[in-house]
Amino acid sequence: MKKNLILFLLLSVYTQAVPQRNIINVPDIPGYRTMVCDFHQHTVFSDGTVWPTVRVDEAIREGLDAIAITDHLEYRPHESDMAADRNRSWQIAKEYAADRGLIVIAGTEITKEMPPGHFNALFIHDAEHILNKDFRQALKTAADQGAFIMWNHPGWKVQQPDSTVWWDEHTYIFNQGWMHGIEVINGPEVSPEAISWANEKSLAMIGNTDQHGPFMFEEFDPDDHRTSTLVFVAEKSEGGIREALFNGRTACWYKHGVIGKAPVIRALFLASVTIRPLDAENGRYLFYNPTDLDLRITLSNTVYEDWSKELKLSPGSKTSFKIPPGASVEQIGVRVNNMFSGVDKPLEVPLSMIQPVHQ
């Protein structure tokens, strides 16, 4: 009896200590594996309120593949309590994550007034060395360390209260080759300007949480997930993520859908949904979406019987639809109402491109 009690207590401690890993079901796309990442989070080492290991446990519990710890270089309100240097938070997280199947990327947030605002530098070697009053020197040093650099929350009202402006300083930074990505989504906030700039200037589209407190206080509903960046990698490793970021193979996954470059989101949609004829003679078909992507579509051609009705392809759902007798699948287009490649630019694909499954 006593033995059982001890065993029970040991097991309880064990299950508390190791967070259960949620499995995120987002498909790979042709030629690439898909990784779910959050590249912007804070700890007590800047203005966050959690120890770095908490960020690792949270990410494992939520099923992420990689995170970056990006404490502010210049803003450290707990500095008198946290005397360590500016590399310490990601070192702690990285060591803790080493045998837990989570990649932790060394990062920092270069924190300047607008212009040019805040920038995350990822894959850095030494944050202390990047610290510099002059944003030019800071960004140059980060770039010299081989960093992938993104402009964070360009539309943050504290810094851009009236309109989201691309300043001359951003042109300078971009022309120097010191800006490779842009935060299209920061937490729940989508920046339409950032989406347009990403398309115009071939910047990687990034979606992050910019989390400061513990995720336990977030009011996620059970079907929701954190804002994250889907990265399409040739190899599932830190180097694979870096290569994919520099080549812009990303999409942003947030509460209301997915935002990314047109070829990427098209491939993602086509890898997510299949179509099955139920009774082809009478025009009855079935969509199957086995993924965690909550997709909403409209069949965009009037030959579809009730063409104005939005179809919900919820995660794991099978959704039937009917086209009138005589109409062919080839005539019908699909508009995905919550996958965007640009502002007011939902993804459109011909229905005939969706992979048919005959069984």
Q: Which stretch binds Zn ion (CB under 5 A): 118-126, 190-198, 200-208, 287-295?
A: 118-126
- Quote the DSSP letter at residue 71: -
- Quote the DSSP letter at residue 207: E
Taking the complex as a whole, the smallest distance from the CB of residue 281 to Zn ion amounts, in Å, to: 57
Nearest CA to 350 among 293, 283, 289, 299?
A: 299
Q: Which amino acid belongs to residue 167?
A: W
Q: Which stretch binds Zn ion (CB under 5 A): 20-28, 131-139, 208-216, 252-260?
A: 208-216
Among 58, 210, 292, 294, binds Zn ion (CB under 5 A): 210
Residue nearest Zn ion, CB atom distance:
118
By CB atoms closer than 10 A (0-12, 13-18, 19+), residue 305 is middle
Taking the complex as a whole, the smallest distance from the CB of residue 212 to Zn ion amounts, in Å, to: 8
Do the Cβ atoms of 312 and 353 come closer than 8 Å?
no
Q: What is the C-alpha to C-alpha distance for residues 266 and 269, in angstroms, rounded to an integer?
A: 5
Max CA distance (Å), the chain: 75
Residue with Cβ nearer Zn ion (118 or 261):
118
Residue with Cβ nearer Zn ion (38 or 65):
38
Q: Which stretch binds Zn ion (CB under 5 A): 101-109, 253-261, 297-305, 342-350?
A: 101-109
Taking the complex as a whole, the smallest distance from the CB of residue 152 to Zn ion amounts, in Å, to: 5
Residue with Cβ nearer Zn ion (131 or 327):
131
Residue with Cβ nearer Zn ion (135 or 287):
135
Residue 153 region by backbone torsions, left for phi larger than 0, else alpha for psi between -120 and 50, else beta: left
The answer for residues whose C-beta is within 8 angstroms of residue 7's C-beta and 6 or more apart is none
Residue with Cβ nearer Zn ion (152 or 160):
152
β-strand partners of 37? 66, 229
- Give residues 261-280 in contact with Zn ion (rule: CB under 5 A): none
From residue 1 to residue 40, the character string flagging contacts with Zn ion as x (rule: CB under 5 A) and all else as - is ----------------------------------------
Q: Which element (helix H / strand E) includes 266?
A: helix 262-272
- Give residues 147-166 in contact with Zn ion (rule: CB under 5 A): 152
Q: Which stretch binds Zn ion (CB under 5 A): 56-64, 111-119, 184-192, 282-290?
A: 111-119
Residue with Cβ nearer Zn ion (152 or 291):
152
Q: What is the C-alpha to C-alpha distance for residues 50 and 230, in angstroms, rounded to an integer?
A: 25
Q: What is the C-alpha to C-alpha distance for residues 106 and 87, in angstroms, rounded to an integer?
A: 8
Residue with Cβ nearer Zn ion (218 or 306):
218
Q: Does 112 bind Zn ion (CB under 5 A)?
A: no
Among 86, 118, 180, 261, binds Zn ion (CB under 5 A): 118
Nearest CA to 225 among 49, 38, 96, 76?
A: 38
- Quote the DSSP letter at residue 194: H
Residue with tokens 């004829």: 277
Q: Which stretch binds Zn ion (CB under 5 A): 76-84, 115-123, 132-140, 186-194?
A: 115-123
Taking the complex as a whole, the smallest distance from the CB of residue 285 to Zn ion amounts, in Å, to: 46
Taking the complex as a whole, the smallest distance from the CB of residue 72 to Zn ion amounts, in Å, to: 7
Residue with Cβ nearer Zn ion (38 or 292):
38
28: which 2 tokens? 């790979």
Residue with Cβ nearer Zn ion (210 or 292):
210
Give the number of other CB atoms < 10 A from CB of residue 342.
15
Taking the complex as a whole, the smallest distance from the CB of residue 308 to Zn ion amounts, in Å, to: 42
Q: Which element (helix H / strand E) includes 284?
A: strand 284-289
Residues within the interface to Zn ion (CB under 5 A):
109, 118, 152, 210
